[in-house]
Structure 1
Amino acid sequence: MSLQKINIRNSVLILMIVLATATRVFSLGTIVSWANFTPVGAVALFGGAYFSDKWKAYLVPLTVLLMSDLLINYFKYQHTGLYANSVVVYISFAAMVFIGTLIKKVNITNILLASVGVVVLHWLITDTTFNSTLYSPGLTGYAQSLRAALPFELKMIAGNVVFCAVLFGGFELAKRKYTVLQTQRELAV
């Protein structure tokens, strides 16, 4: 595969990730009831599925998500830096990218299953530390935290489905029209 072809494909992937993630920043003034309707899971899955270099699969989505978090924290909360427990959240984002790397065939079923799966993973990982002072310690408190987070996670599923449809569907359509976006393996078929 030529260097130019790789650069065009990677540039398109990066641009799509940046544009999708920008919706987080530009929706700062949105209604709280839409909290968690974001492209986070879709961006992580998309990067994991399409970057042929796995280091790029992790680096690009996680960097773009980090930059959007910093912008959101600064403009919405007048706070520089990250929030408490951000390490746990970024571990869940990295796990989402990993699940994206497991997608070998892009189709509606696989993307839908991955979209829901990464939200369940996010839910289970992030609620181990969040709200630890709001709920009783131990498994009872963890169950209370999971129950309280359910409405937010359902919105995250909706966000994943919508943004995955746009990202995966858009890139698959673009690959059909512009062969420069296809990998060597795809061209050989």
Structure 2
Amino acid sequence: MSDLKFNPRTLILLLMILIITGFRLLVTFNSDALKFANFSSIGAVALFGGAYFKDNIKAFAFPLLSLFLSDFILATTIFKEYSNGFLYEGWYWTYLAFALMVLVGRLLLNKINAVSLLSSTLSIVFIHWVVTDFGVWFKNPSYTQDFAGFWLCLERAIPFEIRFLEGTIIYGAILFGAFEILKAKFPALKFQAQQAA
């Protein structure tokens, strides 16, 4: 027990993820259910977790857990009609896309600046668009099962992806900006090799 050390960096990162994920629920519960569909914090949370958690398990587990908890709450409340009793149809495509988005944060955000943040944001929006809509298109009788059908599915998703981009930019600016300010004020939050955040 004496070897256990309190890591304030991990605690602050986790709290920030939970708070910003809470905004996903707050916005959804206080608006027309589909008006802000995809305008959420999950893209920013994926990038944030990938960028700041140096431990691979935490980098993937904490953002995925926040997505699961918010999905579960939404699937059992206001989106119950779209739920299959657990989450929603095709949830695994969303989680695959989300894991890939965390990976982008790990690979592209070694150094946090406006250019790397914008390029990683555009990358994850593209991943979200293609992967989640592949799940919508695949074996769906509403679309022909060829490139033209997939392209039509992608076109129909553009308004949702624009909102996803907007949400990722806004929530990302809040998350990354706040943590960089906190790191400047509290040096204990800076990553040190001996602490695996």
Assess same fold via TM > 0.5. Answer: yes
Per-residue Cα deviation, 1:155-180 (whole angstroms, up to 9, x for no partner): 10000100110000100000000011
**Shift in Å at residue 112 of structure 1?**
1.0
| Residue 57 of structure 2: aligned partner | 55
The residue type equivalent to 1:148 in the other structure is: R
Q: Which moved more, 1:73-82 or 1:94-103?
A: 73-82
How many equivalent residue pairs? 182
Pick from 21, 38, 41 the counterpart of residue 40 of structure 2.
Answer: 38
**Shift in Å at residue 126 of structure 1?**
1.0
| Residue 139 of structure 1: aligned partner | 147
Gaps of 5+ in 1: none
Q: Which moved more, 1:80-89 or 1:175-184?
A: 80-89
| Residue 10 of structure 1: aligned partner | 10
**Shift in Å at residue 106 of structure 1?**
0.3
The residue type equivalent to 2:26 in the other structure is: F
The alignment status of 1:83 with 2:88, answered yes or no, reads yes
The residue type equivalent to 2:119 in the other structure is: L
**Shift in Å at residue 77 of structure 1?**
2.7
The alignment status of 1:151 with 2:153, answered yes or no, reads no
**Separation in structure 1 between the aligned mates of residue 19 and residue 192 of structure 2, nearest angstrom:** 26
**Shift in Å at residue 138 of structure 1?**
1.1
**Separation in structure 2 between the aligned mates of residue 133 and residue 41 of structure 1, nearest angstrom:** 29
| Residue 70 of structure 2: aligned partner | 68
| Residue 96 of structure 1: aligned partner | 101
The alignment status of 1:179 with 2:180, answered yes or no, reads no
Deviation beyond 3 Å, 4+ runs, structure 1: none
**Separation in structure 1 between the aligned mates of residue 190 and residue 79 of structure 2, nearest angstrom:** 41
**Separation in structure 2 between the aligned mates of residue 126 and residue 17 of structure 1, nearest angstrom:** 22
Q: Percent identity?
A: 36
**Shift in Å at residue 29 of structure 1?**
3.6
**Separation in structure 1 between the aligned mates of residue 72 and residue 141 of structure 2, nearest angstrom:** 25
**Separation in structure 2 between the aligned mates of residue 133 and residue 40 of structure 1, nearest angstrom:** 29
**Shift in Å at residue 3 of structure 1?**
2.7
Q: RMSD value over aligned CA atoms?
A: 1.4
The residue type equivalent to 1:126 in the other structure is: T
Return the structure number with greater helix share: 1
**Separation in structure 1 between the aligned mates of residue 77 and residue 111 of structure 2, nearest angstrom:** 39
Q: Which moved more, 1:77-86 or 1:13-22?
A: 77-86
Normalising by structure 1, what TM-score?
0.92
